Amino acid sequence: MNLAIFADLERYRDVTMNKLIVLLLVCGLSTGAFAKDFAQYKQERLITKLLKQQVNQQISLKNSISSILTIYPEQVDVVLKVALDEYPSKYKDIMLGAMEAEPVLACEVIEIVLNANVANASEVVSIAVQAEPAYAQEIVNVAALNSPADIENIVRVAILTEPVVSQAVVTNTANSFPDQVLSVLLGAIKAVPEKVSTFVKHTIALFPTDSEAIVTHAVNSSDKKHASKIVDSAIQAGLNEQDAINAAIAGGAKAERFAQNK
């Protein structure tokens, strides 16, 4: 009888210890998570206090953001979160201040601003590309990932803002979003219509299996006076002449135009 009681006590002790271990593990994880959240809260309180102090001293929001991020560049997510919470309508000043402090943060800045839903993707891209044109390709990619349905307009605005990067933006974005190559091409054509034949040539070089669709789309989206140049560019890029002409006609070009050129 005593041995049976002793065995029961041993089993009870084992079960109790297992439960205690699990409880301690859970408490440890919860405490760690709480400590992390509390540290984040303290950081946000500190940044909020610093930001308000500077603004209250008549320092511009842009300069305030820039000076804080110069000291705390690793806190860009906290600084921007606080700034956008406190001054959501001044997102442009917040973006410019952040990129002025650390230009390399351009992509991180626009991602945070887009996630805050204080402005549409095209406007954010325009501000960012104008401030940091060297990062135009990366900026467009981040914005397109955030708002894929708006990729045409994102490309158009980026190129309008900094035309010198037009071909680089088209090439990079088309490679990053091959399923939306026609939307990328259309955005570029709308931004710089006189460069349509150049865009067509380079886009066909990237996606030769889509050559005919590219020609048709380009002709359909352009002034018909560009049709012959589009066909010539497609041929130079490797598309068969008759296929290029047929694709242009499918896009709305007049067949007579090409008959005259033969």
Whether 175 shows a pLDDT value over 80: the answer reads yes
Residue 221's domain spans which residues? 194-262
186 with 202, same domain: the answer is: no
Give the C-alpha distances (Å, rounded to integers) separating 137 from 108, 143, 192, 222. Answer: 14, 10, 17, 24
- Report which of 35, 95, 102 is spatially closest to residue 70, judged by C-alpha positions: 102
Q: Please give the Cα distance from 158 to 155 (Å, whole number).
A: 5
Task: Give the tens place of pLDDT for each residue, 239-260.
Answer: 999 999 999 999 999 988 787 6
Task: Give the tens place of pLDDT for each residue, 17-28.
Answer: 555 445 445 555
Q: Please give the Cα distance from 165 to 159 (Å, whole number).
A: 7
185 with 205, same domain: the answer is: no
Quote the pLDDT of residue 7: 45
Quote the pLDDT of residue 27: 56
Which 3 state secondary structure label does DSSP give 208? helix
If one counts the domains in the chain, the total is 3
201 with 179, same domain: the answer is: no
Q: Is 153 domain-assigned?
A: yes
70 with 91, same domain: the answer is: yes
158 with 169, same domain: the answer is: yes
Q: Is 17 domain-assigned?
A: no
187 with 198, same domain: the answer is: no
99 CB-near residues (< 8 Å, 6+ apart): 105, 106, 109, 128, 131, 132
Q: Is 68 domain-assigned?
A: yes
Quote the pLDDT of residue 125: 97
Q: Is 216 domain-assigned?
A: yes
Q: Which residue, 93, 119, 145, sits at the end of a domain?
A: 119
